[in-house]
Amino acid sequence: MKNLLSISHLTKEELSSLLNLTKKLKYENSIGRKHHLLKGKTLGMIFSKSSTRTRVSFETGMYQLGGHSLFLSADDIQLGRGESISDTAKVLSRYLDGIIIRTFSQDDVVELADSGNIPVINALTDLLHPCQVLADLFTVKETFHKLEGLKVAYIGDGNNIANSLLYGCSKSGVNLSVATPAGYECNPEIVKQAEETAKENHCQINISNHPQSAVKDADVIYTDTWTSMGMEEEKEKRIRDFDGFQVNSQLMSHAKSHAIFLHCLPAYRGYEVTEDVIDGPQSKVFDQAENRLHMQKAILVKLLGGK
């Protein structure tokens, strides 16, 4: 691992190693074991999009690992005033040991990594959200003690979460069914890549516009907000278009009795999910949110600590 731009770039061995290290770091945190794996390291955090979980989990993670983090909003650095990504990457490489970036364009993240000589972590783009889905895979494995052979059903918008689930599930042997409204499907090139990877790992990718068939016999049901950041003007249209795609108790009844519910948050109760599901006994959303901290610590150790 030199960067984390997409789960598609990870080998199966690297993915497995991240999951194992996350388990170790989470356990050590639970018993109060302190370590300084990143003592003397500094992480720059570029945010063109706001966040609760991403900022707090990365800042806390660096602190727990003995390192230091710098929050850099688009208004605070020259990148937001027209300085090129290439120049920014070269300058920051002289000051920092690593960069996370949460922004709009995946191409900008790739250019940042290509232009600098320090690790770059994709903390979200409009196309992908690898840190979230790696934490999701850890949450699933933590619950069921395995990944291969399980079925995940994703219901809703074919957004960055769905795209990263395609990469993550196909690489880890998880069967994935994605159900979106017509016109809101996942990136077709990513679907094609995931289908090819799934064949290699003996699992299946199913894409449809039918939520009930997608969740049939699922071990995990996952949804996300219908209106992502930057799409607020589409909210009313999306509410109409996503009618029938709400995760509620009726939809959950088609999954396995032990199925868990996941949501990357923030959630809008009464829209993509009902209150009784997200706050019910099958919900793992707050374990999932906590696991962002532990997975991202593992990513930071791998990239900045050379472990």
Residues 139 and 291: beta-carbon distance below 8 Å: yes
Is the Cβ–Cβ distance between 86 and 109 less than 8 Å? no
Identified catalytic residue from 53, 238, 263, 292: 292
Torsion angle in degrees (nearest 10) through CA of 170, 172, 175, 176: -60
Active-site entry in 53, 64, 97, 132? 132
> Active-site residue among 224, 246, 288, 296?
224
Gap between the Cα atoms of 119 and 115, Å rounded: 11
* Residue carrying structure tokens 């997409």: 6
DSSP 8: G
Q: Is 264 a residue of the active site?
A: yes
Distance CA 88, CA 101 (A): 12
d(CA 129, CA 160): 6
For 271, phi then psi, to 5°, come to -110, -90
- Does the annotation mark 102 as catalytic? yes
How far, CA to CA in Å, does 196 sit from each of 79, 186, 190, 205?
A: 37, 16, 10, 9
Question: Considering 102, 238, 263, 294, which one is annotated as catalytic?
Answer: 102
DSSP string, 108-166: HHHHHHHHSSS-EEEEE-SS--HHHHHHHHHHHHHHHS--TT-EEEEES--SHHHHHHH
Q: Which residue in the list 136, 219, 264, 294 is annotated as catalytic?
A: 264
Catalytic residue status for 132: yes
- Residue in 53, 64, 97, 129 annotated catalytic: 129
| Separation CA 207–CA 269 (nearest Å) | 25
Residues labelled as active-site residues: 102, 129, 132, 224, 264, 292
